[in-house]
Structure 1
Amino acid sequence: MTTSPRDDAVATVGGYTLLARLGEGGMGVVHLARRGPAGQRVALKVLRPHIVGDEEARRRLAREVGSLTRVRSQWVAEIVDADPWAEVPYVATRYVPGLSLHDLVVEEGPVTGADLLWLASCLAEGIASVHAVGVLHRDVKPSNVLMEGRTPILIDFGLARVADDPKLTHTGWLLGTPGYLAPEILYGDDATPATDVHSWAATVAYAGTGHPPFGRGPSMAIMDRVRRGQFDLDGLPPELREVVAAALAPDPLERPTLEQLLAWLRPLTTRPGERRTPPPTAPPHDPYTVPLALASQAAADDTTDVWPGHGTAEPHTLALTSYQPGYQPGEPGEQAPARVPWGERLRRGTLLAGLALVAGAGCAAYPWIAVILLLVLVWLLRSGSLAGSARDQRRDLRGRKWYDGVQLLVATPWHLVQSVPGTLLLALWSVGLALAAALVCYAVAAGLSLALFVCGTALTVSLWLGPGGSRVRGPVSRVVNPLAADPRRWIVALLLVVAAAVGLGLRADLSGTTWTPADGRPSAQLPG
């Protein structure tokens, strides 16, 4: 005999004997069940007809179950059986005989000390095991965490992708609990791994403080606090509070990744032998524009080429990749970049030096035009690098989307504005060094063309190495590095660069300096 989700009087579903009703949610009714007199007890979720009713929805559920049956983790109540095509579809998971985290906190108070760190770590491990098969949970919350002793077991992930079914929005279901839903879900955006990170943080905050981090009250008020990032973490240990606060950032791009959370938690809990890493924190709002004093310090430490606001060392030998907050070189499992042969390094350096000579010769022949073109080019390169990094971060969080190109185009004006402060700082820095070179040329009574050539070269090198110059080096390296990798292409490129430098130099030497768009030489006191 079979049963429907609304009929508890009938004893079996799909060959399982129903022993007790465990709970009810928007997706279905959960029963404690057993197959046969001596069979293993399971948590049997019987799905509601309006959730899974047609063939398309059943196919979605079948695909999801096929993925989730590959999840094998001690921190997850795995799927042990399912039949999406039964008259009454069901999903059976491992039964965990314990209180939910919500009920445990209500009865015994907040989780504290080492038990709280253990809970945070095991919960993150469970979410990671679900992500590993390409599925998001989307509904991590205290009532979906069962406590097996002091160990949390993640449950109710069997309908993760079925929750994307557009029919649910038509029936008015709210898929999730206010206070544990990430802000992007409230705005109607797609779920990403960062969505589960936000829910992880809210759940850990509840466990450690004994109250929901976004408070209680009407759902609309709670959701408004979630959108604004207004949370209460009083009661959490200081270091954990810093991590949880970062993971509750309203902007998913500012949250640490699950991998970063685990890299910090594992040495403290599940893998005590691993090297300790600093706690992950949210990156600053604009990591690419830095105060002058900090930039000066960064310039003094330029051997590592790490700028304030970047957690990433940007190797001179690699093209610039997307900015990854909290990256630590040499983390376990990190594959070191391949070492570039010295011959290729030499070709890169020669080509870059040639480009600097072209800029210097351009300044000797057409000073104002060359300087304006250099500064505009730096601004555009930095803007493009910012836009590319933002696109890569979005892809890291939610994968590639068909509208990535459109989104990049729409966001370009903002990145053009965003790069202005950093470009101005870099320009002031570089112009100052170019003026210092001009004073040296004046002191040795160098000719006008030579002085302009030296100043233009100094300006170009300063724009390359100055504060924020990594955003210039990255895009240029994307062009120079492939050319240097092939000796034949490198020779052709080098000949073109040398020809341009020589041509501009001869133009300045034979015809004199052209001050267009100005009417003439700015000062008769200049040497030459």
Structure 2
Amino acid sequence: MRPLDPDDPRSVETAGRAYRVLARIGSGGMGVVYLGRSAGGRAVAIKMVHPEFAADPEFRDRFAREAGLARTVGGGFTAAVIDADPEAEIPWLVTEYLPSVSVRDAVHSSGPLAADAVWDLAAGIAEALVSIHGEGVVHRDLNPANVLLTADGPRVIDFGIARAIEASSVSRPGARAGAAGFMSPEQAAGDAVGTAGDVFSFGSTLVFAATGREPFGEGPWHVRMRRVQSEAPDLDGVEGDLRALIESCMERDPERRPTAAELAERLTGRAGASAEGAGAAGEGGMASLPPAVTAEIARRRTAAENPPVPRPRLEPPAPLAPLPSSPQPWPAGPGRYAPHSTMDPAQARRPRTPLIAAAAFVALLITIGIPGGLWFTVRDTGGGVEAAPSAGPTPTASAAPASPSPTGIRGELTFTIEGSGRVSSLTYMFNGKTTKLTKVRLPWEKTLQIPSWPPRIPWKLSYTCPPGGSSDSVAVDGNVIIRGQGSSGTNMRSEGVL
């Protein structure tokens, strides 16, 4: 959690219901997540979509339908959807705020979960899927990043919204939202996805929680997508009843997988406290979470009660008045002007304070630059200081930055192009820097670190498909946000803002 940036919203409202925006929680493929508070003081998570999705009417329509369905989902193992406004300039969704750590982050920081914690996790996710599927919703993006570990047990988030991303024209035809290594074979192939697809992803998520590995290995998204469709998952290190459970969930034929209700019944009595219901605050909870994860959950609860102060908007310095092109004569006395008067010897020996002060002033101009493009240099004209335009380039202001520049990395952006042969010319832009490549051999992949600042980072990828065609994707932290394919000679282009 970090302070709000100057351009972040301070509130959202609809139909008389208002929510204050207090801090930034994070960002992902769909948008930015903020900590907020309702008028009654309830802590909430406010999810605002990226502007490129907001500009797409098809996305808005799907977002409205999916958000409406999601609000009907209850149960103790989901994050309740409280409110939404698909018609806002930037559509948003409000859910209950859960001080938590995702399964992905917990495993990355502390290693695989203990066996009893995995059973608790399985029971909680199964109960969540019963609630989700019971309202006619298919999650479509169940993976370790969308399962949160809380003090009261696991919670499944972001159910159904992936379908709105798939429907968006921003994603291009054939795009499939979801994490490549956790999709079902039918979703990876672009076929219809039902509740059985979520069950397959449930099994994949348990593999990751128990082993610390993705079930279809590492590598570019297209490699993992191919493995999902054609290879068996890697279950090394998973034994006994847990292995049997996962194998049944990851059957290639959707008809052979158990339903969420069958899973919940099968898990009754196998899990620990969370299986008895995480809905009651202070009751239940997951067994044997790593101490570091438990401490982080507590820290985030405290942080939500005392959110960081927003960063102030720092305005650029006001333009400075230009110096005269030649020195002005000194007045000879009150009410008189003597353009050619001379100094007496005593005056000539006085310290040249005005000259020194003026020189220091112009030196400052050299350091900070002048809005409007002029860069001033100093030259001595014998009787004063003259400021003249330089032939050199315009430097950027360095006296005071226009906005704070915190360090840190908030994720990774990966461009991938799959195919054979060579792309004659390829251009990608990230955070204001454009790179052009020629004769690029496929497959090609480029991963870039997403800095914590600035808050909005534009990106773009463009190229022409080689003979035989190609496919491409853009992913954030391994989660594909845009995917497309084209035939020979097709001009491919995608862009967005993180």
- Matched letter for residue 59 of structure 1: D
1:251-290: CA deviation from partner (whole Å, max 9, x where unpaired) = 222322223222211232379999xxxxxxxxxxxxxxxx
- Matched letter for residue 149 of structure 2: M
Report how far residue 92 of structure 1 moved.
0.5
Q: Are residues 80 and 270 of structure 1, via their aligned partners in 2, closer, same or farther at CA, if it must alter by over 3 Å?
A: farther
1:227 maps onto 2:229 in alignment: yes
Report how far residue 158 of structure 1 moved.
5.1
Report how far residue 20 of structure 1 moved.
2.1
1:2-35: CA deviation from partner (whole Å, max 9, x where unpaired) = xxx9974442333433222222222211111223
TM-score, with length taken from structure 1: 0.47
Q: Are residues 9 and 256 of structure 1, via their aligned partners in 2, closer, same or farther at CA, if it must alter by over 3 Å?
A: closer
Counterpart-to-counterpart distance in 1, 2:5 and 2:25? 14
Counterpart-to-counterpart distance in 2, 1:183 and 1:6? 40
Query: Partner residue of 2:10?
Result: 11
Contact 2:153–2:274, Cα closer than 8 Å, also in 1? no
Counterpart-to-counterpart distance in 2, 1:229 and 1:254? 17
1:448-497: CA deviation from partner (whole Å, max 9, x where unpaired) = xxxxxxxxxxxxxxxxxxxxxxxxxxxxxxxxxxxxxxxxxxxxxxxxxx
Counterpart-to-counterpart distance in 1, 2:27 and 2:42? 22
Report how far residue 150 of structure 1 moved.
6.5
Report how far residue 49 of structure 1 moved.
3.3
1:173-228: CA deviation from partner (whole Å, max 9, x where unpaired) = 55111110111111110111110001100001111111111111222221222112
Query: Partner residue of 1:124?
Result: 126
Pick one of 40, 60, 72 that aligns with 2:42: 40
Report how far residue 141 of structure 1 moved.
0.5
Counterpart-to-counterpart distance in 2, 1:226 and 1:79? 31
Contact 2:124–2:154, Cα closer than 8 Å, also in 1? yes
Alignment gaps of 5+ in structure 2 = 277-498
- Matched letter for residue 180 of structure 1: F
| Aligned counterparts, 1:177-256, within 5 A | 177-256=179-258
Structure having the larger proportion of residues in helix: 1
Structure 1 residue matching 2:182: 3-state secondary structure: coil
Query: Partner residue of 1:399?
Result: none
Counterpart-to-counterpart distance in 1, 2:173 and 2:163? 17
Structure 2 residue matching 1:50: 3-state secondary structure: helix
Report how far residue 125 of structure 1 moved.
0.9
Query: Partner residue of 1:265?
Result: 267
Counterpart-to-counterpart distance in 2, 1:260 and 1:220? 32
Task: Give me the CA root mean square deviation.
Answer: 2.7
Q: Are residues 18 and 171 of structure 1, via their aligned partners in 2, closer, same or farther at CA, if it must alter by over 3 Å?
A: farther
The structure, 1 or 2, with the larger RCO (C-alpha pairs under 8 Å, 6+ apart) is 2
Q: Are residues 160 and 217 of structure 1, via their aligned partners in 2, closer, same or farther at CA, if it must alter by over 3 Å?
A: closer
Contact 1:115–1:150, Cα closer than 8 Å, also in 2? no
1:32-76: CA deviation from partner (whole Å, max 9, x where unpaired) = 12235x621111110123324355543332232222211111100
Q: Are residues 270 and 197 of structure 1, via their aligned partners in 2, closer, same or farther at CA, if it must alter by over 3 Å?
A: same
Q: Are residues 139 and 46 of structure 1, via their aligned partners in 2, closer, same or farther at CA, if it must alter by over 3 Å?
A: same
TM-score, with length taken from structure 2: 0.50
Pick one of 26, 33, 55 that aligns with 2:29: 26
| Aligned counterparts, 1:88-487, within 5 A | 88-149=90-151, 151-157=153-159, 159-165=161-167, 167-170=169-172, 174-269=176-271
Counterpart-to-counterpart distance in 2, 1:217 and 1:150? 34
Counterpart-to-counterpart distance in 2, 1:71 and 1:246? 26
Q: Are residues 135 and 168 of structure 1, via their aligned partners in 2, closer, same or farther at CA, if it must alter by over 3 Å?
A: farther
Structure 2 residue matching 1:30: 3-state secondary structure: strand
- Matched letter for residue 182 of structure 2: Y
Identity of aligned pairs, percent?
Answer: 39
- Matched letter for residue 140 of structure 2: R
Structure having the larger proportion of residues in strand: 2
Q: Are residues 196 and 158 of structure 1, via their aligned partners in 2, closer, same or farther at CA, if it must alter by over 3 Å?
A: closer
Structure 2 residue matching 1:249: 3-state secondary structure: coil
